[in-house]
Structure 1
């Protein structure tokens, strides 16, 4: 079985368990951690996660944030000067970008048909690298998680710390990790 299918099988076992309804938003997050080299394969096989979710008796809503930076900068009336002087963009990124990404996820979390029995899956977390932190975005949306929030996370999880795209620094988050061991076995 391929690694993505191994992850989907492990995820399916996890999502099929009864859900505690009284946990905090941060504990309703699931981080599906995979090697960054598997990004294209995961995108091509995203349907196996939907099938596993539905087999577990839950609804599914997918939100792809891959184009978040492009949308955000395209909507900015001062985008042209930022292209001429990109270093000026840093303050604006720190002040606004995470909130913009969070609003896209929040829109999916609060959409019609999304309830306490729905998994909202976020694809494209790797596209945030260098612009904002996944942890910052998660903190902004955790109060809106009614069911479960599944983050497809290209990176590492080791010693209870998540690292996006092999970044040197990481963060500790209360989400449930689903990973592949170094030998390729899912856990």
Structure 2
């Protein structure tokens, strides 16, 4: 399982460089891109990323989006009707769910313990596939990023395009990519 350890090492080199404080919110996002088959392995070894962050002198907080859809739907008054007719959910899903995910991230980013020296790590982005576009959610919360937002991204990165779970058309984003082949960079 050296691939996750390699990613953690590349991330550690990147996060250990001095942070530029005047960069835009989109440039404060770090995307750790890994093969979708490694999701469970990554979760089992996430301490390597936290350790690298703390060794670089930064604080660590995390949020897991894996249950976001279930929690969002469970809170809806019409959830039982949506189970009876799931096609009726599509419009509400497109109109409201990305904003709900953004609000979850915003709460984590604006937590009183989060400072401009904190890395907020986001797990469970693969669970958003088919429900919300990560690119859309990130645009909604860019202004709330104080330190760095670390997004664990099961998919691919090539030619400046990210593709979640290797399946959807990618999008170009200003985030710093950390891949198995990257060497890290200035944050």
Give the TM-score, by structure 2 length. 0.96
CA RMSD of aligned residues (A): 0.9
- Counterpart Cα distance in 2 of 1:171 and 1:66: 22
Corresponding residue for residue 140 of structure 2:
140
- Counterpart Cα distance in 1 of 2:168 and 2:118: 34
Corresponding residue for residue 126 of structure 1:
126
- Counterpart Cα distance in 2 of 1:164 and 1:96: 21
Residue-by-residue CA offset, 1:37-71 (whole Å, 9 max, x unaligned):
00000001111100000001100001001000000
- Counterpart Cα distance in 2 of 1:142 and 1:127: 21
The alignment status of 1:151 with 2:151, answered yes or no, reads yes
Corresponding residue for residue 176 of structure 1:
176
Which has the higher relative contact order, 1 or 2, with Cα contacts under 8 A spaced 6 or more apart? 2
Q: Unmatched 5+ residue regions in structure 1?
A: none
- State the 1:24 CA deviation: 0.4
- Counterpart Cα distance in 1 of 2:9 and 2:74: 39
- Counterpart Cα distance in 2 of 1:28 and 1:156: 20
- Counterpart Cα distance in 1 of 2:120 and 2:168: 28
The alignment status of 1:27 with 2:56, answered yes or no, reads no
- Counterpart Cα distance in 1 of 2:91 and 2:30: 30
- Counterpart Cα distance in 2 of 1:119 and 1:34: 19
- State the 1:168 CA deviation: 3.5
Corresponding residue for residue 101 of structure 1:
101
- Counterpart Cα distance in 1 of 2:13 and 2:142: 23
Q: Give the secondary-structure state (helix, strand or coil) at the position aligned to 2:171.
A: coil
Give every structure 1 segment of 4 or more consecutive aligned residues whose post-TM-superposition deviation is greater than 4 Å. Answer: none
- Counterpart Cα distance in 2 of 1:137 and 1:119: 18
Corresponding residue for residue 71 of structure 1:
71
Q: Unmatched 5+ residue regions in structure 2?
A: none
Q: How many residues align?
A: 183
Give the TM-score, by structure 1 length. 0.96
- Counterpart Cα distance in 2 of 1:166 and 1:113: 35
- Counterpart Cα distance in 1 of 2:86 and 2:64: 25
- Counterpart Cα distance in 2 of 1:168 and 1:31: 17
- State the 1:180 CA deviation: 1.5
